[in-house]
Amino acid sequence: MGKIKVGIVGYGLSGATFHAPLLSVLGQFQIAKVVSSNKEKVQKDLKDVEVVSSLEEVLEDPSIDLAVITTPSGLHYEMAKQSLLAGKHVILEKPMVVEAWEAEELIKIAEEKNLLLSVYHNRRWDNDFLTVKKLMDDGVLGEINTYQVHYDRYRPVVRDRWREKPGPGSGMLYDLGSHLIDQALHLFGLPQFVWADVFSQKKMQKRMIISM
């Protein structure tokens, strides 16, 4: 069996940090194409990989087996649907999609076409989470009735990136929050009900300049 040829769609933080390095060292995969507007960045990391400007150039390549989609979250649904309909297996960066019905439709298409559709949750492999999981599996903690987990981060200056701006799939709930939800599901299974109190602590700061 030959190597699984991969097209990486998007080469921002996720594509460059979490996907390309792993795919490059795993012998069963070969990165064939990368969709990016920053050709120099891609070629600096992946010298022999072809850089293309559109998803269509990946989907029209019959040699590519798998599309790894790492674009902004609001684009996941349409790009994954196109890829599945083109006969490609798909791995989506988290969050999978923005709306539940989008996920249900993609799952249905993948099942009908007998294709792999998966979501990349790298934080299932964080040491703290693996420790908690092992302690639970070994029965060290006894019966669990409360599970409280959070990320703490101090960032007084908001970064200029799509995740920090209004739009579908932006914001910390979709970004880091999706990891916490995934970990809870991984540990305890599907809940009987969901309750949430969601608010933003982020406060935009403006600098006032006074000239005398």
Q: What is the residue-averaged pLDDT of the chain?
A: 90
Q: How far is CA 81 from the centre of its chain?
A: 16
> Mean pLDDT, to the nearest integer, of 70-75?
94
Please choose, from the candidates 110, 114, 119, the residue with its C-alpha nearest in 3D space to the C-alpha of residue 76: 119
pLDDT value at residue 202? 65
Helix (H) or strand (E) holding 73: none
- The residue ranking higher by pLDDT, 166 or 127, is 127
Cβ neighbours for 70, distance < 8 A, ≥ 6 positions apart = 8, 9, 10, 11, 12, 14, 15, 18, 19, 93
> Mean pLDDT, to the nearest integer, of 64-80?
96
Inform me whether the pLDDT recorded for 210 exceeds 50: no
> Side chain identity at 62, as an amino acid letter?
P
Provide the token pair at 167. Answer: 């739009």
> Mean pLDDT, to the nearest integer, of 98-106?
96
Please choose, from the candidates 147, 149, 150, 161, the residue with its C-alpha nearest in 3D space to the C-alpha of residue 189: 147
Inform me whether the pLDDT recorded for 90 exceeds 50: yes
Segment 108-143, tens digit of pLDDT: 999 999 999 999 999 999 999 999 999 999 999 999
pLDDT value at residue 211? 44
pLDDT value at residue 59? 98
pLDDT value at residue 157? 77
Cβ neighbours for 197, distance < 8 A, ≥ 6 positions apart = none
What residue has token string 């200029």? 160
Please give the Cα distance from 43 to 51 (Å, whole number): 8
Burial bucket for residue 17 (CB in 10 Å: 0-12, 13-18, 19+): middle
Please choose, from the candidates 165, 194, 201, 166, the residue with its C-alpha nearest in 3D space to the C-alpha of residue 180: 194
Cβ neighbours for 46, distance < 8 A, ≥ 6 positions apart = 20, 24, 31, 34
Please choose, from the candidates 48, 54, 53, the residue with its C-alpha nearest in 3D space to the C-alpha of residue 20: 48
Please give the Cα distance from 178 to 186 (Å, whole number): 12
> What are the chain's domains?
4-120 (3.40.50.720), 125-188 (no CATH)
Rg (CA), the chain: 20
- Quote the pTM value: 0.85
pLDDT value at residue 205? 46
